[in-house]
Structures are given as C-alpha cells and as structure tokens.
Amino acid sequence: MRVLVTEDDENLRVALDAALRAAGFAVDAVADLPAADEALFVNPYDCAVFDRMLPSGDALRYVSERRRADWPMPVLFLTARDSVADRIDGLRFGDDYLVKPFAMPELVARVRRLCRRDLTSRPDVLRCADVELDNGKHQVTRAGVLLTLTRKEYLVLERLMTAGGRPVSRAALLGYAWDEAADPGSNVLEVVIGRLRRKLREPVLIHTVRGVGYRMTG
C-alpha cells in the first residue's frame, strides 16, 4: 500500500516517513501542495496524509476542491487546530483528523484503516480496452482469452490499470509489486514490463513515459 505524506516540518516529515515504512507502507513524502499535486498526478495512492496548514496554503481547501471533482482518495489531516469547528471541517472533507502532538503508532493504525477501506471500495473488475483484470477470480483476459501471468506481472498490471491511464512511476510500481528493499537501479521492472507486453500482444497498451515510468491506455 502506498501513502502520500505532505508535511512542511522536516523533522516530522522524516519521522512519518520512517514510521510508515517500518509498518510496511511505500511512502512518498513531500513538503508542500505543489509537490503533492505533482505526486498525485504521477502515482496512484491508497491514502494521503496532509498537514492542515502549509506555507503553500490550507490543505483543507486543496482537498475540498478535489472532492468537488469526485476525488475518492482517503485523507487524514494532521493539525494543531483542535477546536470543534476545525474538527468538523476536517471530517467534512477528509476521512480522519489527528491533532498534534500525536502518538506515531496511532497514526500508523489510522492510515492502515483508511488504506483498507480504499481497497474494499475498488471495483472487482478493472478494464482497459479489451483487457479485463478480475480481482475476485485473480485472472486476466484479453479479448476473452485467459492469460497466464506471474504474481509480479499481475501486480504490475493491476497497479497500471488502477491508475486509469495516468502515468505510474517506477518507484510506485517497484513499491507495489516488490518491496522497499527492491533496488531502484535494477532492471527487474523493465523485464516484467517486457513480458507483459508480449503476453498482452498487439496493439500495445503499456507505454513508456520518459523520465517517469509507464502508463496503460487503450
């Protein structure tokens, strides 16, 4: 599961990154809303953690604007603002609200709960062109023909299809299909992408996005 953390305090950002990674999450940690916006464009996430007040703006307003466009991602707000009105606003546009200072194990538990909720809300069947990935049956077909995929191939394909045509970074794919110990300099991802392209056959659906990673479009 991959989490985006947006926190301008460097010490807290590093601590959040370390705690979530130690709990088994893949993490991207950024310091401001423009960087968060870029990360959300490139990568699919299971949950986002936002410090409420950032030098680049109020994260609550940023999230509320995305919600108007039916943005479904679970969001946890972190803030020193603990009035009832602030809590109500946070829960109106976010999914959870944690007041500073907080215990790191509690934050990890709340993030895990939000990620699990997002996973249960995903469709059982993902589609791109004539490719179908059925999570219930754990099988992939193209034009009705069943494909035989390895676990890594299946996970990479699932992550690409979940992104809905958006680019997915190499780091996000490695973090999802392998683990945080995977060497980002190795070519294991490229090998799996090559095998997937051969198994999916023509026309090619998995495209390289130079300097970023890959996207899947029909």
Summary mean pLDDT of the chain: 87
Per-residue confidence at 137, pLDDT binned at 50, 70, 90? confident
Q: State the fold for domain 125-216.
A: Arc Repressor Mutant, subunit A (1.10.10)
Q: In what order do the strands lie in the sheet with 213-216?
A: 168-169, 213-216, 206-209
User: What are 55-60's contacts with CB under 8 Å, separation 24+?
Assistant: 55/8, 56/32, 57/33, 59/6, 59/33, 60/89, 60/90, 60/93, 60/94
- Superfamily for the 2-121 domain: Response regulator (3.40.50.2300)
93-126 confidence digits (pLDDT tens):
788 999 989 999 999 999 988 887 655 556 678 9
The Cα 25–Cα 53 span in angstroms is 24
User: In terms of pTM, does the model score above 0.85?
Assistant: no
Where are the domain boundaries for CATH 3.40.50.2300 in the chain? 2-121
What are the beta bridge partners of residue 146? 141
43-94 confidence digits (pLDDT tens):
778 899 999 989 889 999 999 998 888 788 899 999 887 777 777 777 777 8
